[in-house]
Chain A
């Protein structure tokens, strides 16, 4: 009679990563599911079907890992197979110039047009614009994001209360940083802000931080 941990726990980053890699292969997923559904709380004995909503989270994890990622690999191999087949069938008859032309067309298809920004006339907006266009702004934001990622990854079950509180505060600070960044960029660029891919992928991270706040 001992107080033991499940071998498939999510206590720290590496353990969690390992469990999710296991979910990619589909190995022992039911054990993880059961642990998650039976989990009551920290330092509490699990109870049968105590937390049914966590099954939704686990199904989401399984959907992304087992189905999406493993199919991604198969997809890439099949794509390469198709490409090889096409090259063997069509490209054999083309001359070198024609091949270059086809390559150029494909290259141009893959390129995106870059959005160019103009300095606004409003005094405050032009100030924001100068901040946003400065060469230190983007590296600084990337540094903040990386630091935030490290803090999120350093989260674990065995850390003390003080460290946990410090992490929570740090997460709030990061969220504030991202809001200020978004505000500055919106002021500087206007509605073009939402056309930039970087900003569109940046907001999910803000969303995940909101979830942590709850």
Chain B
């Protein structure tokens, strides 16, 4: 068993190359689909939060509606 593991090490190198090539292709596709789209407005901790802050965040980047995380949304509902 151990012998077969040791023996399989040299045949793993071409496999690494193939895996790297597949990953590189996917990486290029990923760039073309999602580059620059993962930025978000970091609101910070919920303890230092009030409703005016949320409203200013809502107009962040000139977008009327923003996605607010779960706790913040509950806080907004409670106000």
User: Which residues does A use to contact B, with CB under 8 Å?
Assistant: 1-6, 8-13, 16-17, 19-21, 24, 35-36, 38-48, 50, 54, 57, 61, 64-65, 68-69, 72-73, 76-77, 79-81, 83-85, 149, 152-153, 155-158, 208, 211-212
Q: Within 8 Å CB of A9, what residues of B? A: 34, 36, 38-39
- A43 and B63 alpha carbons, distance in the complex (Å): 10
Label chain B's interface by main secondary structure. helix
Please count how many residues in chain B sit with their CB below 8 Å of the partner chain's CB atoms.
43
Beyond A47-B65, A69-B19, A80-B8, whether A64 also contacts B38 by CB under 8 A is: no
Closest CB in chain B relative to A22 CB, distance in Å: 10
In the bound complex, residues from chain A placing their C-beta under 8 Å from that of B22 are: 64-65, 68-69
Interface contact tally, CB-CB below 8 A: 165
A-B contact pairs, 17 of them (CB 8 A): A1-B44, A3-B39, A9-B36, A10-B33, A10-B35, A16-B28, A20-B30, A39-B38, A43-B61, A45-B63, A64-B26, A68-B22, A73-B15, A81-B1, A83-B7, A149-B24, A157-B35
CA distance A46 to B63 in the complex (A): 10
**Of B7, B53, B67, which one neighbours A48 at CB under 8 angstroms?**
B67
Interface residues in B37-79 by Cβ distance below 8 A to A read 37-44, 53, 56-57, 60-61, 63, 65-67
Instruction: Note all chain A residues with C-beta closer than 8 A to B66.
Output: 45, 47
A83 to B11, CA, bound (A): 13
Q: Are B31 and A21 in contact (CB under 8 A)?
A: no
Instruction: Return chain B residues, CB-CB under 8 Å to A1.
Output: 41-44, 53, 56-57, 60
Closest-CB distance, B66 to chain A (whole angstroms): 4
Contact B26–A155 (Cβ < 8 Å): no
Contact A212 B61 (CB under 8 A): no
Which residue of B11, B26, B65 has the most chain A CB atoms within 10 A of its CB atom? B26
Residue of B nearest to A17 (CB): B27
Task: Tell me whether A155 and B36 are in contact (CB under 8 A).
Answer: no
Name the residue of chain B whose CB is nearest to the CB of A16. Answer: B27
